[in-house]
Amino acid sequence: MGGGTNEVVGTPIAIGTITVNGTTYTKYKLVVDCGALPNNTQKNVPITLPSTRNILSVYGASTNPTLGMVYPIPFYNAADASYSITAIVTSSGGDAIKLITKTDLSDWADTKITIEYY
């Protein structure tokens, strides 16, 4: 996602700094290959994040190679909400990306989620 030349799936990279309340922190980006979207359910993809982190954003995209189409994530379809896609970072039971769909989107086989944090 983003198409940056420094993008490495599965390896956090420093992408700059952020200053919060007078303290400067290194900002990181982690791109996670989540595989196919789930079929009308949730899918948890285990990840490793530092125990002390502040998440700034979670975004991504999923590709259907047969249709040659890409859905951005998060995605909300106003015409049919069952085709919406949600990505959540959770630490319940270990860090994971939770992908949620309300219909069968398992043919969207290439899903990458990016987490930016400091």
Instruction: Give the pLDDT mean for 27-47.
Output: 95
Cα–Cα distance list, 46 to 26, 74, 84, 88, 93 (Å): 23, 19, 22, 12, 10
* Contact by Cβ (8 Å): 114, 11: no
Q: Where are the domains of the chain?
A: 13-117
**Is a pLDDT exceeding 90 seen at residue 22?**
yes
User: Cis omega (within 30 of 0) on the bond before 74?
Assistant: yes
pLDDT bin (cut points 50, 70, 90) of residue 7 is: low
Instruction: Give the pLDDT mean for 18-34.
Output: 96
pTM of this structure? 0.88
pLDDT bin (cut points 50, 70, 90) of residue 52 is: confident
Q: Is 93 left (phi over 0), alpha (psi -120 to 50) or beta?
A: left
